[in-house]
Amino acid sequence: GQQLNQSPQSMFIQEGEDVSMNCTSSSIFNTWLWYKQDPGEGPVLLIALYKAGELTSNGRLTAQFGITRKDSFLNISASIPSDVGIYFCAGPNYGGSQGNLIFGKGTKLSVKP
Amino acid sequence: DAGVIQSPRHEVTEMGQEVTLRCKPISGHDYLFWYRQTMMRGLELLIYFNNNVPIDDSGMPEDRFSAKMPNASFSTLKIQPSEPRDSAVYFCASSFFETQYFGPGTRLLVL
């Protein structure tokens, strides 16, 4: 079945550093979604990508839809302590029931002030 | 919009007791999802509904779990009887298209 593999699993960085994480799949996706989960809260949508090669920014966040449609990248520039959390990639579950999403296992980000 | 509303936010109960979690989706959304999140297993989809009808319940761990959606603005997830291994954070999410919007979750502890 479809799976999303996120890397790295966790990151420990210094405030001010740039962050890069990615999500890969053996299957093609037509949509990539990036969510962030703050400690003690539910995941919140950060960026949605709908077209291969698309590069979309949201403040200090930039995400790209890979040209092969099998991967996506999320970059955070000049990290700050509130960037701490778990970042999930997600895509439509084409192999399962319509309307469902598949989630990666997440990248846990820790930022040292 | 108030977003997805879940109650209670925290629940502590004893093994064997019935637990009912509640969710109010975003108005106009026609999909509703129930997830469970643990450190070991991450985010797991339990069941989801489309237009109040259950579409896929293959993620429901066992018969102790049941979910209902009597109308477009309300859903419940019930665990009866509860067990310590059910301790987790339970999320409800809703969507109109592909993008799901999550509630704040219910943190369940079964002693």
Cα(first)–Cα(last) distance of chain B, in Å? Answer: 36
> Shortest CB distance from B43 goes to which of A33, A96, A103?
A103
If you count residue pairs, one on A and one on B, with CB atoms under 8 Å apart, how many are there? 48
* Contact between chains at B103 and A45 (C-beta distance less than 8 A): no
Q: Answer whether B104's CB lies under 8 Å from A42's CB.
A: yes
Specify the pairing of strand A55-58 against strand A61-65. Answer: antiparallel
Q: How far is CA B48 from CA A54, A81, A103, in A?
A: 30, 35, 15
* pLDDT of B1 above 80: no
Count of alpha carbons within 13 Å of B37, Cβ hemisphere only? Answer: 25
Q: pLDDT at position A97, please?
A: 57
Class of residue B44 by CB neighbours under 10 A (exposed 0-12, middle 13-18, buried 19+): middle
Q: What is the pLDDT of residues A52-76, one digit of tens each?
A: 999 999 999 999 999 999 999 999 9
Question: How far away is chain A from the Cα of B49, in angstroms, using its nearest Cα?
Answer: 9
Specify the amino acid at residue A16. G
* pLDDT of A41 above 70: yes
As a whole number of angstroms, the distance between CA A51 and CA A111 comes to 31
Among B26, B22, B21, B19, which Cα is nearest to B4's? B26
* Contact between chains at A106 and B42 (C-beta distance less than 8 A): yes
* pLDDT of B100 above 60: yes
Residues of B in contact with A45 (CB under 8 A): 99-101
> Shortest CB distance from A48 goes to which of B56, B99, B104?
B99
Mean pLDDT over residues B3-12, rounded? Answer: 97
Q: What is the pLDDT of residues A73-108, one digit of tens each?
A: 999 999 999 999 999 999 987 765 566 888 999 999
φ/ψ of residue A5, rounded to 5:
-110, 120
Look up residue A51 and give its DSSP letter. Answer: S
Mean pLDDT over residues B55-64, rounded? Answer: 91
Identify the band that residue A3 occupies on the pLDDT scale cut at 50, 70 and 90: confident
Among A70, A71, A36, A76, which Cα is nearest to A57's? A76
Q: Answer whether B105's CB lies under 8 Å from B7's CB.
A: no
* pLDDT of B41 above 80: yes
Mean pLDDT over residues A12-26, rounded? Answer: 96
Q: pLDDT at position A95, please?
A: 60
Q: Count CB-CB contacts under 10 A for residue B18.
A: 11
Residues of B in contact with A96 (CB under 8 A): 56
Question: How far away is chain A from the Cα of B65, in angstroms, using its nearest Cα?
Answer: 20
As a whole number of angstroms, the distance between CA A88 and CA B64 comes to 29
Q: Percentage of chain B surpassing pLDDT 70?
A: 99
* Contact between chains at A106 and B33 (C-beta distance less than 8 A): no
